[in-house]
Structure 1
Amino acid sequence: MRDKKELMAMSAPQFSVKLAETEAELQSAQHLRYRVFVEELGAGGALVDHDQGLEKDQFDPFFDHLILRDEAREGDASQQVVGVYRVLRSDQAVKAGQFYSEDEYDLTVLKNSGRKLLELGRSCLHPDYRGGVAMHHLWTALAAYVFEHEIEVLFGVASFHGTDLHSLAQPLSMLYHNHLAPEDLRVRAQPDHYVDMNLVPNDQLDRRRAMLEVPALIKAYLRLGGFVGDGAFVDHSFNTTDVCLIMDTKRLNEKQKNIYTKRVAR
């Protein structure tokens, strides 16, 4: 009979991160995205494949897809993919015709900056791996990618679940009052669907409540020294309210930057 320590050691995750190189690896990422975005959050989309359980769109062929695998997890290779990040460099966006988030945000200020950009998106973890070290492994791999490609500005939309602006007034207003991007990074929601985030005056904010209602991923970007763009976007197809997050590698919080990039220098 194995004791408890042996059983825990046997079930300990064995993480590895790589870029998807095959169609099968890409579909493994899309399968996890389906579980999280479609089954959990109620998202949809024209190219979602419900029969095969794949969340995909027309931009996937142009993105690089970071996949986090737990090689100790039971099942085939596709079931071992427990985390996903997709990333799009400026040169890839040229081939795609645009950045994904340009339908939601005017990115002119970033595109005219002459700096190397990287768009982040579709970040998700399998429910069994949230709240642990799995996200750290993905972020470490992302840091290595940023270092390799000499990226200067990272950005991408991040989401609050739901589209009820009244219920999101506190956290959206807190982001506006405390984390609005400086003008040289301040993208703005496209005018035809611009949603003002300044819904509650600064002196009426319940800051503790507001921060508790901010999703963990957005909090992580803020801790690194990230900013938000001007205006939110209500995405009814994904059942979310989106904000645009921007991180300037030169402005990153030094303490957090060292934690984030410490493995890159090894």
Structure 2
Amino acid sequence: MSNTAYATEATPTPNHLSVEMVQDATTLQAAQTLRYSVFSEECGAKLENAGTGLDQDIFDLHCEHLIVRDLRSGEVVATTRLLDSQGATEAGGFYSEGEFQLVGLPQLRGRILEIGRTCVHAHYRNGATISVLWAGLAQLMNERHYDYLMGCASVSMADGGVQAQAVMQRLRGRYLCREWLNAIPRLPLPQMDLPANVTAQLPPLLKAYMRLGAKICGEPCWDPQFNVADVFILLRREQLCPRYARHFKAVAPEGR
């Protein structure tokens, strides 16, 4: 892939933000530093190799990494990593398969891209930054003709799981779909009875996936390392929300 920054003209964004694929070790390290800052320092995750100040794992070697850069400072302010089927084969499976038994995954017809480790710098957590990141992701999916986008979206377990249970209570009726994949958590959340008046706001990233047209494919998995409940999401291009279809050009291929 070229080192050209992805165009973002489809979504009005500040001119100082640019999205690009990581092409060198220095930029990858900057993305891993941002991930460490967000996941470890802000959220308290117990990361491997924490003493390095970097969030690294074995999947990084097999992933491509998409970043948003502030051109005024050169700082990496948002990042996500991408794993396709070939990379997953080399890595021994998709990252999500470590948390879920993905029943039906081998039967999916089409090209699959897994997204993960998405985070945004605290000073840039706004619609503009995530729009730039999404525009880069959209262009990549268009160029390579991916049919499915999948991954995990996290809900904090800092309150013992009340928020995670309340979020799932909101999601089940409208967004739960096991038609294409059945994501069975390897470490399910403990069951609890919620008061009738408990409500919860969807975390920003999970809300963004739902707005795109993604579905959840099962109950959440508890991730003790990050102390979060991970919800498995699947987005089929042909079911993309029309509002976003012009960015992702979600036209179903013939016979699929």
TM-score category by the smaller chain? Answer: 0.7 to 0.9
Residues 210-225 of structure 1 aligned to structure 2 (within 5 Å): 210=200, 213-225=201-213
TM-score (norm 1): 0.82
Q: Give the gaps of 5 or more residues in structure 2.
A: 1-13, 250-256
Residue 194 of structure 1 aligns with which residue? 188
CA distance in 2, matches of 1:205, 1:119: 35
1:114 is displaced (CA, Å) by 2.9
Match of 1:251 in 2: 239
**Considering only CA atoms, is the larger Rg found in Structure 1 or Structure 2?**
1
How far the C-alpha of 1:125 sits from its partner, in A, is: 0.6
Deviation at 1:121, TM superposition (A): 0.3
Contiguous gaps of at least 5 residues in structure 1:
1-11
1:122 aligns with 2:110: no
Partner residue of 1:26 out of 24, 28, 31: 28
Map residues 35-184 of structure 1 onto 2, 5 A cutoff.
Answer: 35-48=37-50, 50=51, 52-73=52-73, 77=74, 80-162=75-157, 164-184=160-180
Alignment correspondent of 1:238: 226
Tell me if the contact between 2:63 and 2:81 (Cα under 8 Å) persists in the aligned partners: yes
SS in 1 for 2:137: helix
Task: Report the Cα offset of residue 199 of structure 1.
Answer: 6.0
RMSD: 2.1
1:128-184 CA distance string (max 9 Å, x none): 111240110000000011111111111101101225223432211111222102422
Aligned length: 235
